[in-house]
Amino acid sequence: MKLTTFLFFLGCAFALPTTNIDPIPRPTITNFTYFGAGCPSGTVSTALYAINSTTGSYQVYTYLDSFTPWAGPHFAIKDSRKICTVNLEVGIAQGWKVRTNNGGSDVKGYLMLLDEKVTGTWRANYSFASATTGSISSIAAVSFAGPFVGIFIKHADAEGQGVVSPCGGGTLNVEHQVRLSSAGSTYSGYIGPDPGPDELKWTVVSGVEVLRC
């Protein structure tokens, strides 16, 4: 190959255009509030963790320290139902939006279902205030059946394909509910040792995806 030809190809190689790909921004939780019979003051906290920041994949953890329901002869009916609404202010750079609960949620907690007559249901309803794209709300739910006493970990499939924020983020409303039904139960199952305070805490994990507007 002639030297002039080699230099020509070498020059073309250096002249190839470069592609600038904007990095996917990280979402933030700038503030959160909560209320309900299942979350007295000081019993809820949240955290956002990166799964793969390059692809915009994150998880939001919600910790519910006073969410365990109880059913039995020494408990009132209200003790078998817990509701907690958590409002998360989710921020993201302009030109981007977030989607959550697309793949469902993971839930960990404590239950005391003494016999087969005691059953329960946990569900979470996700929605973005003033959402204009995607689903208006998205639900994750899971059921429980006794006898069971102890800590559980379950995955709750989502109904639909998650809920999408407005561009630039927005307020994510999540209503957590757990209900026990004990019609016909004699509460005669094995109770076991009393659970420690940390065992009674519930944790809900939901996926967060960063998408272009």
Q: In the predicted model, what is the mean pLDDT of residues 77-103?
A: 94
pLDDT at 186: 62
Cβ distance 32 to 88 under 8 Å?
A: yes
Question: In angstroms, rounded to a whole number, what is the distance separating the alpha carbons of residues 193 and 150?
Answer: 10
Question: In angstroms, rounded to a whole number, what is the distance separating the alpha carbons of residues 60 and 48?
Answer: 4
The ranges assigned to domains in the chain are 21-212
**Cα–Cα distances in Å, from 159 out to 106, 117, 162?**
14, 27, 8
User: Can you read off the two tokens belonging to residue 20?
Assistant: 């600038």
Least confident of 1-5, 64-68, 99-103, 114-118: 1-5
Residue by residue, DSSP assigns 65-122 as TT-----STTS-GGGGEEEEEEEEEEE--TTEEEEEEEEEEEEEEEEEE-STT-EEEE
Decide which of 184 and 158 is more confident. Answer: 158
Residue 77 CA from chain centroid, whole number: 27
pLDDT at 102: 92
Whole-number average pLDDT of the chain: 84
Q: What is the CATH number of domain 21-212?
A: 2.60.120
Q: In the predicted model, what is the mean pLDDT of residues 12-23?
A: 52
pLDDT > 80? residue 45:
yes
Give per-residue burial for 59-83: e unless 16+ CB within 10 Å, then b. bbebebbbbbbebeeeeeeeebebe
pLDDT > 90? residue 17:
no
Read off the pLDDT of residues 103-147 as tens digits, 9 standing for 90 and up. 999 999 999 888 888 899 999 999 997 655 555 789 999 999 988
Token pair 């996917």 in the structure block, residue: 24
The angle subtended at Cα 117 by Cα 113 and Cα 123, nearest 5°, is 60
Least confident of 3-17, 58-72, 191-205: 3-17
Q: What predicted TM-score, i.e. pTM, was given to this entire model?
A: 0.84
pLDDT > 50? residue 175:
yes
pLDDT > 90? residue 9:
no
pLDDT > 80? residue 184:
no
**pLDDT > 70 in the chain, percent:** 82
Q: In the predicted model, what is the mean pLDDT of residues 175-197?
A: 72
